[in-house]
Structure 1
Amino acid sequence: MKLKFIHFLTFIVLAAAFVSCKKTEELPALPKSSIITYKVVNLPDTVIYGAVDQLDKSITVYIPYFYNLTVIDPEISVSDGASITEKVGPFLISTTNIKYTVKGADGTSTTYTVKVVQQNPPSLTINWADDQYTETSPAMYLPIILGDFHSSNSGGVKTTITHTKTGKAITLLNPVIQPSGNLYSLNAQIPADADTGSYNVKVDFLGNTATLKKPLHIKYIQPAVVMTYQEAKQGENITFLADQSVFINLKSVKVTVNNNTYDLPVVSYTPQTMILKIPDNFPVGDYFYTAAFSFEFQGWDTVNRIGMLNVHPK
C-alpha cells in the first residue's frame, strides 16, 4: 500500500511538470513608436543595415573602411502610423549624438541613439616617398608620404605637424589619399601662415596613428605674384594674390605706364593677399599688357611683371 502511494505521488509530480513545460508566456508587444529597420543607402550596389536594439533603444551601424564612406545617408522604416520628429538626412560619419525620436499612433514616444562603428585597418605605417626631399614652403604642399592606408578615404585622415622648437601644432589642409603601386600616397597643404623651421609629422587615419622618423623642413621661397586683370577708379583699391608662395616683407609696389612710374601705396597685405591703392592722380586709361609692375620685398629679388590695368576717373 505504501509503495502504491509513492507511485501515485510520483505520477502527480511528473504530470505537474509536464503541464508547466507546456505553459507559454506572451512577450509584451512592441510600442507603436519603434524603428523597424535602419539602412545606409548611399553606397553603390549595396546597402548596410544597422542593428536595431529595441531594449537598449540604440542603432549600431558597422562601416568597413574599404567603402571609403565619409557620409551616412540613412533610410528608416518605423511602426505603422508612426513618424520621426527629427529631419532624417545625411550626416558625417564622424558626427556623434545622432538621435531619432519616434512618435507612435498609440501615443507612445521612443528615442533611439545611433552608434557608428568604423571597422578600421589594423595598423598604419608611413614613410617619405623620398627621404632626400623633405622640404616645403608655406602655402605649398607636403612632399609625398607613402603608407599602407588600405583606402583612399581622404576624409578619414588628419595630418598634424608640430614645430620642434615652439611646440606649435598645425593641422594641414586639403588632404588627398591616392593609390600608388602597392601602397597609397598622402598629400596635404601647408597653411600660408605657418612658421619656418623643423616639424615632426604625425598622421591619424581611421583609428591608427603613425609618425615619420625624419622631420619636415619649412622655409620661405621667392615671393611670386598672380598677374590678373585689374580694374578700378582713381583712388580705389586693387588686389593681387600670391602665386604658390607667400608675401614676405613687402616694401613697395610701383607701376609704369606711358613711360611714367607711379607708387601704388600698400593698404594692407597678408601672406597671400596684397591690397594696393590707385593714386588719385593716376592717368585714366586701359593699359592692356602695357602696365609694368614692380613688387619689392625686403631680402628678396624684386618681382617685375607686365599686367593689365584699367583705370577709370573718380
Structure 2
Amino acid sequence: MSLLAACTKTETVAPPAERSNRILAYRVTNVAGDTILGVVNDPDSVIRVYLPYYYYLTSLVPDIQVSAGATVTPASGTLVENLLDVFDNGRDIRYTVTGQDGSKATYRLLIEVQQPDFTVDELTTDPASPAEYVNNDIGDVPVYLSWYGDVSSGNQELDRQLIRVTLTGEEGNAYVVDNNAGFKLSSGPSYVFFYLPPNSAASLPTGLYHISIRFYSKTVTLQNPVRIVQP
C-alpha cells in the first residue's frame, strides 16, 4: 500500500494599496507645551479632537498631515474660528483631501470639550412666586447668580467672552447678555451678575423669563423663571 502526499500551493496575496487621499495626522498647535493630537478614524471619515477645557481656546490652529502628494482643503494651518459659536449652535466642519491620483475623501471634524459640569442656584425658590426684577431707564438693576464648579478662567476679561446669559420669555423671545466690552456682565469664582438693559421694554417686555448661563462649552438653564417688570 502506498501513500500519496497531497501538495498544497500557497498563494501570497498583496495587501490592498493604501488610499492616496488620507488624513494621516491632525494636531492642534495653538496650545502651550505639547500639541493636542486628534484621533483620525478612516472608516468613518471622522477626526475627533478631545479638547481640555482649561485652555479655553476660542479657535484652533490645526497642523494636518496627508498622504504623499495629496492636498487638503481648508489647508493645514487654516484657523477653525469662533469655537463658542460651534459650542452654542453647532457647525459642520469638514476637510476634503485630494489624492495625487485625483481621488477625493472628506473628513468631518468633531470637537469634544472635556469640561466638568457646573451648577447655578435658583433665583426663584417657589415657582408660584417668581423672583421679581423691576427695571428702570438707567440700567442699574443687577441680577446676581451664585454658581459652583470650575467656572472661572482667572481672567475676568476672558470670562466675559466665555460667558453668555440668555433670557427666554414665554413666547420664545430671547434676549442675550454678552457685552464683553464693559461691565454689563461680570463674574468671579462663585458668582456671575449682569444688569438689566435700560430702555429694553420692546425687546425684553414685562413677563416671565427662564435664564440660561453658558460658560465656555456648557450651558445651565434655571428650572424656575423670574419675572421682569419694565417701567
TM-score by length of 2: 0.66
Q: Aligned AA for 1:201?
A: H
Q: In the TM superposition, what are the counterparts of 1:1-314 in structure 2 within 5 Å?
A: 26-87=14-75, 88-93=78-83, 94=86, 95-128=90-123, 134-137=133-136, 140=139, 142-148=142-148, 150-152=150-152, 155=161, 157-163=163-169, 168-174=173-179, 176=185, 178-180=187-189, 183-187=190-194, 190=197, 192-194=199-201, 195-205=204-214, 206-211=217-222, 213=224, 215-220=226-231
Deviations 1:96-128 (A, max 9, x none): 211111122233222211112233423533345
Unaligned runs of 5+ in 1: 221-314
Runs of 4+ in 1 over 6 A off after TM superposition: none
Q: Aligned AA for 2:111?
A: V
Q: Which structure shows the bigger proportion of residues in strand conformation?
A: 1
Once superposed, what is the RMSD of the aligned Cα atoms? Answer: 3.8
Q: Aligned AA for 2:220?
A: T
Q: Aligned AA for 1:143?
A: V
Structure 1 residues 115 and 65: CA distance shift in structure 2, 3 A: same
Distance, in Å, in 2 between the alignment partners of 1:72 and 1:218 is 42
* Matched positions, count: 203
**SS in structure 1 at match of 2:30:** strand
Distance, in Å, in 2 between the alignment partners of 1:103 and 1:167 is 45
Query: Following TM superposition, by how much is the alpha carbon of 1:211 offset from its aligned partner in structure 2, in angstroms?
Result: 0.8
Q: Aligned AA for 2:45?
A: K
Query: Following TM superposition, by how much is the alpha carbon of 1:167 offset from its aligned partner in structure 2, in angstroms?
Result: 5.9
**SS in structure 2 at match of 1:30:** coil
Deviations 1:246-297 (A, max 9, x none): xxxxxxxxxxxxxxxxxxxxxxxxxxxxxxxxxxxxxxxxxxxxxxxxxxxx
Distance, in Å, in 2 between the alignment partners of 1:50 and 1:171 is 33
* 8 Å Cα contact 2:59-2:79 kept in structure 1: no
**SS in structure 2 at match of 1:66:** helix
Distance, in Å, in 1 between the alignment partners of 2:80 and 2:223 is 35
Query: Following TM superposition, by how much is the alpha carbon of 1:214 offset from its aligned partner in structure 2, in angstroms?
Result: 6.2
TM-score by length of 1: 0.51
Structure 1 residues 213 and 26: CA distance shift in structure 2, 3 A: same
Query: Following TM superposition, by how much is the alpha carbon of 1:59 offset from its aligned partner in structure 2, in angstroms?
Result: 0.7
**Share of identical aligned residues, percent?**
24
Unaligned runs of 5+ in 2: 124-129, 153-158
Question: Which residue is equivalent to 2:127?
Answer: none
Query: Following TM superposition, by how much is the alpha carbon of 1:196 offset from its aligned partner in structure 2, in angstroms?
Result: 4.8
* 8 Å Cα contact 1:126-1:212 kept in structure 2: no
The answer to which structure, 1 or 2, has the higher relative contact order (CA under 8 A, 6+ apart) is 2
Q: Aligned AA for 1:210?
A: T
Structure 1 residues 33 and 132: CA distance shift in structure 2, 3 A: closer
- Larger Cα-atom Rg: 1
